[in-house]
A = this chain, B = another copy of it.
């Protein structure tokens, strides 16, 4: 399941709770588009802002509405105790895989991070994807540590940060591959550079925009994985104005704002203190969307 387009939908919410109807509508868009897998409760799913009961409910809805598409559930938390509980919840719910990032408050050591993955994988009967996202976890994996963790049972994929240019991306993928078992896939994230990652040899795109606009993201993924790198690049380049907004405001705020503006979610849809875009930024995003005319 760790190949192709993994679509990460928002978890629409407000200060009273999760907007279940909006989440269901987002899930239906993903199954209609036939994404390769669905990843709920990733960064885009605002996992760390939800309590255990809310995370369980999102997991249940995702599996109920996935129509057989594999579902990966984010189980990251600051404390190992909580990660273990979330892993148990995910497995009981029928998840096909879990996604785990070393989220931190106190800066973590390599030894602490390895022990986290070692402890959690021991408790798992389903595969795990390592979530390497230094911009939110503030933890930097060495290749040595990646290699060590990738050899743990159940580890089947690594979600790496985006690399802006093809030469560096190819180097990055090659270097990482030299450290990890052959059956562990590498998936790119950082949507603006996802096409670079796919063209550089990543087997999967762990995608933010794919959680909202799966069709175009599937087309980019299929083109790149099918060897049509120039076609994939030009499709991604078409989205450049959107990628610039991602880089300026963070992908979560941008996709949440789009979902609100398009009526796919209510307003507000993000957990305070996070806010979607307002004022001129919201207007600019509206113009970009009007130009791009994206379908689902």
Contacts and interface: CB of A to CB of B under 8 A. Distances in A.
A15 B135 CA distance: 28
A277 to B, nearest CB: 10
Contact of A112 (B111, B112, B274): B274
A81 B15 contact: yes
Contacts of A112: 272-275
A116 B78 contact: no
Tallying the copies of this chain within the complex gives: 2
Interface string A265-276: 000000111110
Nearest to A81: B15
B250 A107 contact: yes
Nearest to A278: B111
B49 A273 contact: no
A115 interface: yes
B49 A78 contact: yes
B43 A105 contact: yes
Contacts of A109: 275
A272 B136 contact: no
A221 to B, nearest CB: 25
A43 B106 CA distance: 8
A196 B102 CA distance: 34
A103 B111 CA distance: 24
A252 B112 CA distance: 14
Indicate the member of A119, A136, A274 with the most B CB atoms within 10 Å.
Answer: A274
A272 B81 contact: yes
Contact of A49 (B49, B105, B107): B105
Given A103-B105, A105-B103, A81 B115 contact: no
A135 B78 CA distance: 16
A272 B252 CA distance: 29
B43 A80 contact: no
Nearest to A48: B105
B108 A273 contact: yes
Q: Across chains A and B, which 6 residue pairs bring their CB atoms closest together, nearest first?
A: A80-B272, A116-B273, A112-B273, A48-B105, A49-B79, A80-B273
Given A107-B136, A112-B273, A113-B273, 5 more contacts: A15-B80, A80-B273, A81-B272, A105-B136, A112-B275
Interface of A: 15, 43, 48-49, 78-81, 102-103, 105-109, 111-113, 115-116, 119, 135-136, 138, 250, 252-253, 271-275
26 contacts: A15-B80, A15-B81, A48-B78, A49-B79, A49-B105, A79-B271, A79-B273, A80-B271, A80-B272, A80-B273, A81-B272, A106-B250, A106-B274, A107-B135, A107-B136, A107-B250, A108-B273, A109-B275, A112-B274, A113-B273, A115-B272, A115-B273, A116-B272, A116-B273, A119-B272, A138-B138
